[in-house]
Structure 1
Amino acid sequence: MPDFAYTARNFEGQKVTGTLFAQSEREAVANLSTQQLFPLEVTQQKTASQKSAFTRRVSGQTMAVTYSQLASLLRSGVPLLRSLGVLRDQSSHVVLKEVLDDVYRRVEEGTTLGEAMSRYPRVFSELAINMVKAGGEGGFLEEALDRVATFTEQYEDLKSRTTGALAYPIFLTVVGTTVVGVLIVFFVPKFASIFDSLRERGELPVMTDWLLWFSGSVREYGWILLVAAAFAFFFAKTRLATEAGRRTADRWKLKIPLLGSIFQNLAVARFCRVLGTMLRNGVPILKSLEVSRDAAGNRVLSEAIAAASENISSGQTLAAPLASSGYFPKTVVEMISVAEESNTLDKVLVEIADGLERRTERRLELAVRLIEPILLLNLAGVVLFVVMALLLPVIKMSATV
């Protein structure tokens, strides 16, 4: 039962402050009235768990199960408020339990489910919030929750498979970088005095001279590099906290070699699936575009979709502005154009999403398989360069002797 802090006046007109326990703000006001106090202000005090809900995340798998269970309860005819109560009571996750309790209380007071969820952006994803809002308005809340559960499960599965596949390459990178760093900082400088005679005669190989210079620079100015790296990290972190920074990051994300097209196709697939689902359930296209725009998960694509929405409101088609943005594959735009003419847009959009997801999954698996040999080749190249740079002058000195 939550705590409520209150400020009230008694019959003598004196201000009284304190706290009390109640299930809701309405109950707290009623309790004050029975104590012959006239409430001026009543606010719920957040527990440590509730405060942590604004900063701590709940795992995607846990949220996927929660969405699926809520959809099942609603489909079985259980009222929304009672369904939320059931999920709250059976939850063993401290943060999620507190969040569901607050959502339950707000829905009980008349707030929509989507609005109540939007208070916890670190627990409920932007896609989940927008889909639930649209489902509540369009009368397909159960399907919206099922779709959110499916999206969340697919994302978590993709993330776990990618993380597992990248574990070994990341390990190789860390070990290789450490080995090369030790060589350059501690091992290479010991050869500087040995190669002085070759340098004086101008016979020191260029690659050896460059390696010695680089090693000396790292030893002398390494602390500056560390400070610069730390500054760059905090600058990037601060920049990404702004809307402009996140937009820039989303734009660069689409330009990453090999991975950029994967990010782009995933965003387009999410947009098409959400838009198709909403149109199939009778949601007006402008409202559907507003929600599916946020579901894309990329601000650059969201801006292109927003421009398309403006064109549609003025009587134009959807395909033309999407094509002009340059962020939507030509085949996708052509399929949307044909679907608009044949009045099968909702069905075709879902088919587009299915096709993009299949192709993207294959590309992602290929990209992950390529990363490992690429890293190995790069590390081998660096080590070979260091070894050759040290061996060449030794061979030359031996030949001279």
Structure 2
Amino acid sequence: VSLIRALNIVIEQTRNEKLRTALAECAAKIEAGSSFSQAMEENEDDIFPPVMVYMVRAGETGGFLDKSLITVADSFEADVRLQGQIKSALAYPVVVLCIALALVAVMLLTIVPMFDNMYKSMNATLPLITQIMVAMGKVAPVAIPLVIVGLIAFFMFWRRNRNKDFIRSWWEPFLLKAPVFGKLNTNVALARFCNNFSSMLASGVPILNALDIVGSTSGNYVLDTASKRVSNLVERGYRLSDSMASETVFPTMLTQMVSIGEDSGAIDQMLASAGKAYDEEAQSMAKQLTSLLEPLMILVLGVVVGFMVLGLYMPMFSMFDAMNANA
């Protein structure tokens, strides 16, 4: 099937309007005499990632465009699969946390004021835990709307600026060192780096061009800046493995495998093996986190509800005890 016909078939099957328009523009430019990679370049970053453009260009130059596209597809599918597993692992605790917060807000806004009025009318002496609940209930009508507005403003700011360097330079290093999730984030970033680096080298992309691109595909600022420094050292004549070893973000296992790949002439294969190892480790950690977080979040929800119920009913128990003593 010719490239133009293949693109037209894909265009007919594509539901996303933005992607369909970009593919139609590519088809028109190819008919006008441009190469596929040149046609994709104008939508680079916006639609077609740089790693895809470079691999398509390498496939065109070497006469194996079909294999390059298969490699791109395999890499993207593996990344999406891994991200899906991590999102599913985090979905349960996030939902439980939201339910707990919503439950607390409803109780503070509706139930706590009712009990407060009832205890005032009975001149009951309130224990400390109930006093805290009552104070939170008085502040809640003002605090909760402010918190909601603040969260909306924060998410709007975050969505607009999260990819800017002044955010990435402190947030993404924190992700690699965060408690519990730091190791998982590190494995995900390294798996992306290794898989994309391997795919680009296997497709014939020059190593310096590949290093300039793969850092950004890892999705982490630390790996991005480290890969650019490695590229500078390789350009000056240093071995790839020695250059990577100078960056603490690259584990010893990875640099040793790259060294073996350099000696045997199979860097792409060793990177693919390393990427598979980090991918599998990330999947295993995601499953373990799911099994650990589920009972933990149920416990948190139980503690929150128990705290509030205990705080509301403790004065009632005290009054019953006093009545029984007087009787």
* TM-score category of the 2 structures, normalised to the smaller one: 0.7 to 0.9
**Cα-to-partner distance string for 1:66-99 (whole Å, 9 max, x where unaligned):** xxxxxxx5xxxx4x345434544x4353724433
Residues in 2 aligned to 1:290 and 1:162: alpha-carbon distance in whole angstroms: 27
Pairing partner for 1:103 from 19, 26, 30: 26
Superposed displacement of residue 104, structure 1: 1.1
Provide the residue aligned with 1:186 in structure 2: 110
Amino acid at match of 1:155: D
Which structure has the larger Rg over C-alpha atoms? 1
Higher helix share: 2
Higher relative strand content: 1
Seen in structure 2, the aligned counterparts of structure 1 residues 232 and 294 have a Cα distance that, compared at 3 Å, is closer
1:366 counterpart (260, 278, 288): 288
Which residue identity lines up with residue 179 of structure 1 in the other structure? Answer: L
Q: Quickly say closer, same or farther: Cα 1:382–1:86, change in 2 above 3 A.
A: closer
TM-score normalised over the length of structure 2: 0.83
Equivalent positions of 1:98-177 (< 5 A) are 98-120=21-43, 121-137=45-61, 139-162=63-86, 169-177=93-101
Are residues 245 and 132 of structure 1, via their aligned partners in 2, closer, same or farther at CA, if it must alter by over 3 Å?
Answer: farther
Point out the more displaced range, 378-387 or 342-351: 342-351
Q: Kindly indicate whether the alpha-carbon contact (under 8 Å) linking 1:162 and 1:368 is maintained by their aligned counterparts in 2.
A: no
In the alignment, what sits opposite 1:349?
Answer: 271
Distance 1:92 1:273 in 2: 26
Q: Which runs of 5+ in 1 are unaligned?
A: 1-72
User: Residues 254 and 111 of structure 1: is their aligned pair in 2 closer, same or farther, counting only changes over 3 Å?
Assistant: farther
State the match for 2:250 in structure 1: 328
Q: Deviations over 1:291-324 (max 9, x none)?
A: 3233323232111010011111122233344344
1:1-400 to structure 2, matched below 5 A, reads: 73=1, 78=2, 80-88=3-11, 90-91=12-13, 93=15, 95=17, 96-120=19-43, 121-137=45-61, 139-162=63-86, 169-196=93-120, 204-240=126-162, 242-400=164-322
Kindly indicate whether the alpha-carbon contact (under 8 Å) linking 2:85 and 2:286 is maintained by their aligned counterparts in 1. Answer: no
The 1:275/1:172 distance shift into structure 2, 3 A limit, reads closer
My pick for the range that moved more, 380-389 or 280-289, is 280-289
The alignment of Structure 1 onto Structure 2 pairs a total of residues equal to 321
Q: How much has 1:101 moved relative to structure 2?
A: 1.8
Q: Which consecutive unaligned segments of at least 5 residues does structure 2 have?
A: none
Q: 2: CA distance between counterparts of 1:241 and 1:276?
A: 25
Q: Compared with structure 1, are the counterparts of its residues 110 and 181 closer, same or farther at alpha carbon in structure 2 (3 Å cutoff)?
A: same
Shift of 1:199: 9.1
Determine the C-alpha separation between the residues in 1 that align with 2:223 and 2:138.
47
Distance 2:142 2:21 in 1: 53
